[in-house]
């Protein structure tokens, strides 16, 4: 349990790394990045707000099953609570998206080779989620709490 708390703390720290560059920094070398860690079945906490503009998302799977980091921009006015309620009622997450931005997939204990480079739009809300299932009958991981949202602001 103590090890788990340490991992979660470290994960939260990674999310902030590189996001608050000083004004004098060389922008071409310091594209802000958000390093997201996935566990069974949650993502490391994301900031509720992330600065708009070019941003890199990375993914590391610290869990024991395969996970994805799926990043989507929500339709205007849609809240995460509405989306989750809609999915619980049998809807698909995509019904609430303006656009799917990108997907990273990683097996247990692994990171994908790629990253997501996204131009975050100011005033828009984004969802990070995993829609994988452990078995065809099991609920998708988003229903187990594997999602996190933020606003580009
Ligand atoms: Cu998952």
Alpha carbon of 127 to ligand 1 centroid (Å): 14
Cis peptide before 114 (omega within 30 of 0): no
Domain ranges of the chain: 28-152
Say if CB 18 and CB 32 are below 8 A apart. Answer: yes
Position 29 scores a pLDDT of: 67
22-26, 52-56, 58-62: segment of lowest average pLDDT? 22-26
Alpha carbon of 146 to ligand 1 centroid (Å): 6
Q: 96-111: buried (b, 16+ CB within 10 Å) or exposed (e) per residue?
A: bbeeebebbbbeeeeb
Between CA 144 and CA 132 the distance in angstroms is 11
- 26 versus 139: the higher-pLDDT residue is 139
Between CA 14 and CA 102 the distance in angstroms is 21
In the CATH hierarchy, which fold is given to the domain comprising 28-152? Immunoglobulin-like (2.60.40)
Q: Measuring CA to CA, how many Å separate 99 from each of 57, 76, 102, 123?
A: 16, 11, 9, 15
Alpha carbon of 118 to ligand 1 centroid (Å): 21
Alpha carbon of 27 to ligand 1 centroid (Å): 33
Does residue 12 surpass a pLDDT of 70?
no
Position 37 scores a pLDDT of: 98
Position 11 scores a pLDDT of: 45
20-34, 73-87, 92-106, 111-125: segment of lowest average pLDDT? 20-34
Mean pLDDT across the chain, nearest whole number?
87
Position 40 scores a pLDDT of: 97
Is residue 16 helix, strand or coil?
helix
Residue 60 gets the label, from left (phi > 0), alpha (psi -120 to 50) or beta, of beta
Alpha carbon of 5 to ligand 1 centroid (Å): 20
**pLDDT digits 0-9 by tens, 31-45:** 999 999 999 999 999
Alpha carbon of 117 to ligand 1 centroid (Å): 21
Alpha carbon of 141 to ligand 1 centroid (Å): 5
Alpha carbon of 52 to ligand 1 centroid (Å): 26
Position 1 scores a pLDDT of: 47
**pLDDT digits 0-9 by tens, 107-145:** 999 999 999 999 999 999 999 999 999 999 999 999 999
Residues near ion ligand 1 (Cβ under 5 Å): 67, 130, 132, 141, 146
> Average pLDDT of 62-82?
97
Q: Measuring CA to CA, how many Å separate 137 from each of 34, 58, 108?
A: 32, 29, 20
């Amino acid at each position: 349990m103590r090890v788990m708390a340490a991992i979660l703390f470290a994960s939260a720290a990674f999310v902030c790394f590189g996001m608050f560059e000083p004004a004098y920094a060389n922008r071409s070398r310091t594209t802000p990045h958000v390093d997201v860690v996935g566990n069974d079945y949650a993502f490391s906490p994301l900031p509720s707000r992330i600065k708009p503009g070019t941003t890199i998302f990375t993914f590391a799977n610290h869990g024991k099953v395969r996970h994805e980091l799926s990043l989507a921009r929500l339709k205007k006015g849609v809240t995460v609570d509405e989306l989750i309620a809609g999915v619980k009622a049998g809807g698909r997450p995509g019904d609430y998206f303006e656009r799917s931005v990108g997907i990273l997939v990683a097996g247990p204990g692994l990171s994908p080779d790629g990253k997501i480079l996204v131009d975050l739009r100011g005033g828009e809300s984004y969802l990070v989620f995993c829609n994988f299932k452990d078995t065809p009958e099991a609920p998708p991981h988003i229903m187990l709490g594997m999602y996190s949202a933020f606003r580009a602001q």
